[in-house]
Amino acid sequence: MTAVESDDIRYEALFVSDLQSSQDPSPELIRAAVSETVGRLGEQRCAELVAQEFGEHPDCALGRMRWARHAVRSAYEAA
């Protein structure tokens, strides 16, 4: 797995996690949410749920994905 693929999986996992941007989560909490979500759902299911959300709620999904990408980058740089 390349670093890009790994980041993509992390973005998707955070996107479908229960964590909310309004919680102002710490890097540790973001990494834990990513790990728990991938462990619980698997990479494929995370991707499926992201696609479903973009299909059903594209107006909300774009903002959440932007947040997820920024949060993951920040959380894993801090690691």
Which pTM value belongs to this model? Answer: 0.91
Residue in the block written with tokens 């993951």: 72
**Where is pLDDT greater, at 79 or 8?**
8
> Contact at 8 Å (CB) between 79 and 34?
no
The per-residue pLDDT for range 21-66, each reduced to its tens digit, is 999 999 999 999 999 999 999 999 999 999 999 999 999 999 999 9
How far, in Å, are 18, 19, 26, 51, 68 from residue 22 at the CA level? 11, 9, 12, 23, 12
Residue in the block written with tokens 């959440």: 64
Query: Rounded to whole angstroms, how far apart are CA atoms 4 and 60?
Result: 24
The whole-number average pLDDT for the span 18-22 is 96
Supply the pLDDT for residue 5: 62
